């Protein structure tokens, strides 16, 4: 989605993928919301009144924008302009937007009770907050456990990276010879101690992290099953905290190790890396 400036345009504009062209103008006329990649007709002319564009005015969350079009219009210049005039506009906080964040903020919006995500807590018709958990520690443990699935998935990505890197590099080194075809029996480069020193630690590390990830996934699956059965106990609270801590610590270790393995394997394969 793009927020673009629209002003001084006397021909219809069509939003299309890829081509970046922006309306050239000297003052603010209106801010228009454009669907990125979709074909949207934005018929804006100088004769159009600002009130007629109320349905299209969504320019409240950015200060710049590109307009994508099909190249038919000739009254445009390729440029990037501000949709708020620095000379006349105060750069205060905008409605429903926190500057520096891309999350939408809803303020004083009435939401029906049935729309609430109220698995562990709820709000009664009289406005009273009720929770099925007795303490805030229990609520926190449940929240932490739910966030761990993403971290565990990222740990798995690091495992895959280190496994593929070490496997491909070691297999390549087992076939690669330094000087090609020679009369004597030349050893493959995997027999060189330096090559082994570069690659074997990543293979060993891959198995270590892989086994850890497998065991952590088993424990997390058990935790989710018990949560679905609505089990609440002190053990479950400790279980949730431990899974949260382990997944938070292992995520950077696994991904850093995977990146290092990919880099070293690429360099160890020489020109074919």
Higher pLDDT, 102 or 178: 178
pLDDT tens track for 237-251:
888 888 988 999 999
| Helix (H), strand (E) at residue 130 | strand 129-131
Tell me, what's the pLDDT at 224?
A: 87
Higher pLDDT, 175 or 233: 175
Tell me, what's the pLDDT at 133?
A: 73
Q: 136-272 — its CATH code?
A: 1.20.140.10
Q: What's phi and psi for 269, nearest 5 deg?
A: -85, 5
pLDDT confidence band for 232 (50 / 70 / 90)? confident
In the predicted structure, residue 192 carries a pLDDT above the cut 70: yes
pLDDT confidence band for 197 (50 / 70 / 90)? very high
Tell me, what's the pLDDT at 208?
A: 96
With a CB cutoff of 8 Å and minimum separation 6, the contacts of 210 are 159, 163
pLDDT confidence band for 59 (50 / 70 / 90)? very low
Domain boundaries, the chain: 2-82, 136-272
Q: How far apart are CA 252 and CA 263, in angstroms?
A: 16
Tell me, what's the pLDDT at 182?
A: 66
pLDDT tens track for 64-81:
444 444 444 444 433 344
Q: How far apart are CA 192 and CA 270, in angstroms?
A: 14
pLDDT tens track for 139-169:
777 777 778 889 999 999 999 999 999 999 9
Cβ contact 119:39 at 8 Å: no
Tell me, what's the pLDDT at 184?
A: 66
Mean pLDDT, the chain, whole residue set: 69
| Helix (H), strand (E) at residue 208 | helix 193-228
Token couple for 133 = 């958990």
Higher pLDDT, 28 or 182: 182
With a CB cutoff of 8 Å and minimum separation 6, the contacts of 219 are 239, 243
In the predicted structure, residue 181 carries a pLDDT above the cut 90: no
- Per-residue burial over 57-81, b if 16 or more Cβ lie within 10 Å, else e, is eebebbeebbbbbeeebeebeeeeb
Q: What's phi and psi for 241, nearest 5 deg?
A: -65, -40
Average pLDDT value for residue range 39-56: 34
Q: How far apart are CA 119 and CA 221, in angstroms?
A: 19
Average pLDDT value for residue range 78-101: 49
Q: What's phi and psi for 109, nearest 5 deg?
A: -110, 130
pLDDT confidence band for 89 (50 / 70 / 90)? low
pLDDT confidence band for 254 (50 / 70 / 90)? very high
pLDDT confidence band for 270 (50 / 70 / 90)? confident
Which residue, 144, 162, 166, is CA-closest to 213?
Answer: 162
Tell me, what's the pLDDT at 220?
A: 92
Higher pLDDT, 5 or 230: 230
Work out the angle at residue 111's Cα, subtended by the Cα atoms of residues 140 and 124, and round it to the nearest 5 degrees.
60
Higher pLDDT, 129 or 257: 257
Q: How far apart are CA 201 and CA 211, in angstroms?
A: 16
Which residue, 270, 257, 261, is CA-closest to 164?
Answer: 261
Q: How far apart are CA 227 and CA 134, in angstroms?
A: 16
């Amino acid at each position: 989605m793009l927020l673009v400036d629209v002003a001084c345009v006397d021909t219809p504009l069509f939003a299309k993928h890829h081509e970046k062209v922006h309306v050239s103008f000297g003052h603010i006329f209106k801010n228009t919301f454009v669907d990125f990649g979709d074909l949207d007709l934005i018929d804006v002319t100088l004769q159009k009144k600002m009130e007629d564009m109320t349905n299209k005015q969504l320019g409240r969350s950015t200060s710049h924008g590109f307009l994508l079009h099909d190249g038919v219009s000739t009254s445009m210049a390729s440029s990037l302009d501000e949709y708020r005039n620095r000379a006349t506009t105060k750069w205060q906080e905008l409605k429903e937007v926190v500057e520096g964040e891309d999350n939408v903020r809803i303020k004083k919006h009435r939401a029906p009770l049935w729309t609430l995500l109220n698995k562990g807590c709820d709000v009664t018709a009289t406005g009273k907050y009720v929770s099925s958990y007795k303490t805030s520690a229990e609520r926190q443990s449940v929240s932490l456990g739910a966030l761990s699935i993403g971290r565990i998935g990222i740990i798995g990505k690091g495992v895959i990276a280190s496994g593929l890197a070490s496997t491909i590099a070691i297999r390549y080194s087992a076939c690669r010879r330094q000087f090609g075809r020679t009369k004597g029996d030349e050893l493959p480069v995997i027999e060189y101690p330096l090559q082994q020193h570069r690659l074997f630690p990543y293979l060993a590390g891959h198995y270590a992290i892989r086994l850890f990830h497998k065991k952590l996934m088993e424990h997390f699956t058990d935790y989710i099953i018990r949560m679905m059965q609505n089990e609440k106990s002190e053990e479950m609270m400790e279980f949730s905290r431990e899974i949260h801590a382990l997944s938070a610590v292992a995520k950077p270790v696994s991904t850093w190790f995977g990146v290092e393995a990919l880099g070293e394997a690429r360099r160890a394969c020489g020109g074919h890396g």
